[in-house]
Amino acid sequence: MAFFRNAKQSLGVILYNTRLSMSTYSRHGYSTWVTKGASHAQSTDAKASKTAYLYWVSRRFNSQAASSAEQMGLIKQLRERTSAPIKDVKAALVGCNWDLEAAQKELRKRGKVLAMKKSRTATEGLLALAQNEGKAAVIELNCETDFVARNEIFEYLALALAKQALLVENSSQQVPGVFSFGPECLEDLNINLDHPKISGETTIQNAVTEVAAMMGENIKLRRGFVMSASSHGVVSAYLHRCPQPGLGRIAGILSLEVEDEISQVDALQKVGSELAMHIVAAKPLFLTKEFVNSDVLNNEREILKSQAESTGKSQMAIEKMVEGRLRKYFEEVVFMEQKYFLNDSLSLKTILDNLSKEVGSPVKIGNFFRMEVGEGIQRLELSSTDEPVAQAV
């Protein structure tokens, strides 16, 4: 647009100069002291000269307009290829003498350097889920704003990383069937991307850096979880606030184990999905009361006792109050003590008993965990300890 304004200004200046030249002829009286025939000839020459000027200006204006349209087309193409800000796209093209391929290469170099320098806190993002038979993997990919979290390139990368996470093996064996891992487990793995704006084989670390350069934000692969079921079990998952299948902001995953050989997989998957949704809604921290940490339990007991003593009741009444409130606490944080969130007249024990009857064999929950985008990030900035997640047992 700036070019067109300049072109219009040039046209105006030339027309002004043309008029000035014609008026100069008039001021010097060239059309008054010559003969009538000569005056007519000079008038004809002046008109021809003016026509020539206008023709030359028109040719020049049209040529420059065509050149500007080509440049706008290149800017649009590079913008579509890279998703970079338009000012950076134009600067790269100008710096590379409007060579599209060279400008794209320059943008990638410049973007990667800037991406490596970004240190702003990334608390937004997505969880991505990938599953195969008997196994599920969830990763958390963080960015700075929910605007970038909704970008199709960011979503594509998150899903691609979740598929790669399925390849991670449990080396620590801390908890059989479920384990967590940090970004270092994936960063050096190769990944083959097939997206119009990001494609080819590269390492996961380079892929994350390249997307960060495109988006202009700090993007980080933060963590992941992998859960496996036994040969007589299934893994079920639920993602909350899901922009598309396999993506969300809160995840609930659990494994159901059948004592005998599985005969009704559909029934197990249906109840498993409902219980995964319950995990997201009810936020359990422990599977059973036996898994509640003794320090946590003692701390809760002290708080409840202090509250009860403030009532001024007898010691026996205080003990009963503490025990009653502890039962309430267990119902809040212990999975198997909770009421089903869709029907509080049913306990989870009742749901599992009914499922056991349906499949003809005892069914139990093997492992579970709940995961949410951004949880614990602020605390991690102040402490190097691991962030809290729901107990996996």
Q: Exposed/middle/buried for 123, CB within 10 Å: 0-12, 13-18, 19+?
A: middle
pLDDT digits (tens, 9 = 90+) for 161-196: 999 999 887 765 555 678 889 999 898 899 999 998
Distance CA 12, CA 61 (A): 11
pLDDT at 351 over 70: yes
pLDDT given for residue 108 in this prediction = 66
Comparing CA positions, the residue from 215, 216, 282 lying closest to residue 254 is 282
Cβ distance 149 to 124 under 8 Å? yes
Distance CA 185, CA 141 (A): 14
Distance CA 82, CA 99 (A): 15
CB within 8 A of 254, min separation 6: which ones?
A: 227, 235, 236, 272, 275, 276, 279, 365, 366, 367, 368, 369
Calculate mean pLDDT across residues 27-32. Answer: 43
pLDDT at 155 over 50: yes
Calculate mean pLDDT across residues 285-292. Answer: 91
pLDDT at 41 over 70: no
Distance CA 393, CA 353 (A): 20
CB within 8 A of 86, min separation 6: which ones?
A: 75, 79
Structure tokens at 39: 């005056």
| Higher-scoring residue by pLDDT: 71, 118 | 71
Q: What domains are defined for the chain?
A: 69-116 (1.10.8.10), 124-292+334-372 (3.30.479.20)
pLDDT digits (tens, 9 = 90+) for 203-236: 999 899 888 888 888 899 999 999 998 888 899 9
pLDDT given for residue 230 in this prediction = 83
Q: DSSP of 277-325, one letter per residue? A: HHHHHH---BSSGGGS-HHHHHHHHHHHHHHHHTTT--HHHHHHHHHHH
pLDDT band at 36 (very low <50, low <70, confident <90, very high): very low
Cβ distance 141 to 235 under 8 Å? no
Comparing CA positions, the residue from 138, 135, 132, 224 lying closest to residue 186 is 224
- pTM, rounded to two decimals: 0.69
pLDDT band at 238 (very low <50, low <70, confident <90, very high): very high
Q: Rounded mean pLDDT of the chain?
A: 79
